[in-house]
Amino acid sequence: MEQPAPSTEYQPPLPPRETDESLTYNHEPLNPNKREIRLLEVLPGNDGDTIQCHLRVVNFADHPVYTALSYTWSNGNRSIHHIWIDGKMLQFGNNLWLFLQEFRKRKATDGVLLWVDAICIEQSNIQERNHQVAQMRDIYSTASSVIVWLGPCLDDDAHAFDLLRYSRRLLSIPKNQDPRRYRSHRQWNALASVFSKAYWERAWVIQEFL
- Average pLDDT of every residue of the chain: 79
Question: How far does the chain reach from its first CA to its final CA, in angstroms?
Answer: 27
Domain residues of the chain, as ranges?
Answer: 21-153+198-209, 157-188
Instruction: Provide mean pLDDT across the span 15-30.
Output: 74
Segment 64-100, tens digit of pLDDT: 999 999 988 766 667 889 999 999 999 988 999 999 9
How do the residues of the chain divide into helix, strand and coil, expressed in percent and rounded to 5? 35, 20, 45
Segment 44-65, tens digit of pLDDT: 988 889 999 999 999 988 999 9
Instruction: Provide mean pLDDT across the span 185-210.
Output: 65
pLDDT at 166 (0 to 100): 63
Sign of CA dihedral 63, 64, 70, 75: negative
10-14, 48-52, 151-155: the lowest-pLDDT one = 10-14
31-35, 122-126, 156-160: the lowest-pLDDT one = 156-160
